[in-house]
Amino acid sequence: MSRVKIDTQHILKAIKVIENINFEYLALRNGIKPTQRSIIDHGQFKGIKKIYEKNGIYITHSDYKIKRTKKMLRAAPLHSHGGQIIFYASKLPKLAKALKEQEDKRIKGIYSSGRKFFSMVDETIGHLLGYPQCCINFFKQNTNSPSIKLISSAFENTKGTPSFYLNNLHAFPGSRFGALISHFPCSYTCNESKKYAQKVLNSICVSETEIREYIEFFLKLPVLVLNNGKTFFFNSVDMSAGSARYNFIYKSINQNHGFEKDRNYLCAYNRLENGNNIILGKKTISVFLNDKEVGKIKNEKPLLFTFK
Ligand SMILES: [Zn+2]
């Protein structure tokens, strides 16, 4: 398969740029959103606290840990081994405290029972986090849905070409990498979410045009989403509904979901890398090298995103 060297270099640079920016922190610091809530390792808290306080931001954390088992999220005592904590931050301490308090109410009861998924946005939490009302409503309608359900519903709600401003497919909300928005948009053309994302992007880029170009370039790359929510991005030389030609394809940069250890994911990646053309079927993705089929990936209803 032929590769365009300059594109690969460009994409690696773009990944570096995007990995080094915590967009949600930026939004908080610049007054674009009122509070931030993120899940981190307990050991990271001290370092983050130092940076936040230096910038006039109040920060506190949950009195419990969140633990992920295979498909379950469970709250556990703070002193227990492993797991992560949730931090709450704001320039106004009372807002961060209110967010923590509201979330504590919701988390109660999960200590003992455990849940497959739990929704961490209600009306109050959504407003405190500065999410658009339309997206709060959307999230409430999809309470306790896995990320992929939120993505596919938002995709169905999208009228026209998805906006790159809302590309959250490299990084689900809550992870550090890549998305300008920190919530699930109600559609990939949601106006309120776009306004928010534009403010975030503009806030870094007044004197940093090069960085802005890399971010835009990266977020505009088409994305293939598998039905388990895992993603690949690629450069496209030719796309139509349900098919795409590409020079290179790349694994998602989101490391929080353990993609690197997922054998099915890596296997799909190898197949995609062997080809330069995909056609999406109802239950499979067929991979071609020029016109010769070189592999199939079993996957029901994969989604192909282009952005503008
Ligand atoms: Zn919306």
Q: How far is the CA of 189 from the centre of ligand 1 (A)?
A: 8
User: Residue 282 corresponds to which amino acid?
Assistant: K
d(CA 40, CA 46): 11
Q: How far is the CA of 140 from the centre of ligand 1 (A)?
A: 12
Q: How far is the CA of 190 from the centre of ligand 1 (A)?
A: 5
Contact 122, 106 (CB under 8 A): yes
Look at residue 74 and tell me whether its pLDDT is greater than 80: no
pLDDT bucket at 1, cuts 50 / 70 / 90: very low
Q: How far is the CA of 275 from the centre of ligand 1 (A)?
A: 36
Cα(first)–Cα(last) distance of the chain, in Å?
27
Taking only the tens place, the pLDDT of each residue in 20-71 is 888 999 999 999 999 999 888 899 999 999 999 999 999 999 998 888 776 6
Contact 306, 219 (CB under 8 A): no
Taking only the tens place, the pLDDT of each residue in 134-178 is 999 999 998 778 788 999 999 999 999 999 999 999 865 445 567
Which run of H or E residues covers position 285?
strand 284-289
Neighbours of ion ligand 1 (CB under 5 A): 132, 134-135, 186, 190
